[in-house]
Amino acid sequence: MKPLRELTIEDLSATPVWRSLGGADSTALVEPTGRRSLSETEADTFLAATSFVLGNGEHQFGFCSPVDDSGLDYLQPVIVTPQGQVRLWFDNPVQPAVLAEQWANLGVEERQVFPVEFECLVPVGGRTVKGTVRNVASMGSAV
C-alpha cells in the first residue's frame, strides 16, 4: 500500500494494475494487484498503466481508471514523471500556478502538451481503452 501521489513509473511498469483504497487526492491510497486485465463490471476502482503521446509527439507514461471510460471525469488520466504527477482532470477548478508547475514537470510549454492521446495498456473487457484529451478539465468545464 502506498499514497497515490507517490506512485512511480517503476511501480506501474512492475505492476500495471493498482486497486484504489479511497481517500481524497492528497490522502488517496493504492495497493498493487496481480491483475493483467479488468472487466467493465468491477466493483472496485482500479488504476492501470497507460501510455500517453503529447501534442509535440513526446511519449509519456502514467495511469488512468479505465473500467468506466464514459468520460474524462471517470478515466482521470495522469501522466507520471520523476518530478511529479501531471493530472489532466481536476475535481475542482485549478489555479494557473498549479498548471504551470505541471508543465514544468513535463519539461514543456502548455502549447506543446495538447492534444494528448492516451491508451490504457491493460485490457478492459477484452478491448483497449483509449482517447484524446484536448485540454485540462474540471467538473465538466475546460480550464
Instruction: Indicate yes or no: pTM above 0.75.
Output: yes
Rounded to the nearest integer, the mean pLDDT of the chain is 93
| Mean pLDDT on 70-76 | 93
8 A C-beta contact, residue 122 and residue 36: yes
Per-residue model confidence as pLDDT tens digits over 4-30: 999 999 999 999 999 999 877 778 999
Domain count, the chain: 1
- Produce one character per residue of 84-102: b if its CB has 16 or more CB atoms within 10 Å, e if not: ebbbbbbeeebeeeebeeb
Structural domain of residue 28, as residue ranges? 2-142
Q: Which helix (H) or strand (E) holds 63?
A: strand 59-64
Q: How confident is the model at residue 141 (pLDDT cuts 50, 70, 90)?
A: low
pLDDT at position 138 is 86
Please state, in angstroms and rounded to a whole number, the distance separating the CA atoms of residues 94 and 43.
30
8 A C-beta contact, residue 115 and residue 55: yes
Spatial neighbors of 20 by CB under 8 A, at least 6 apart, are 4, 28, 29, 30, 44, 45, 46, 47, 65
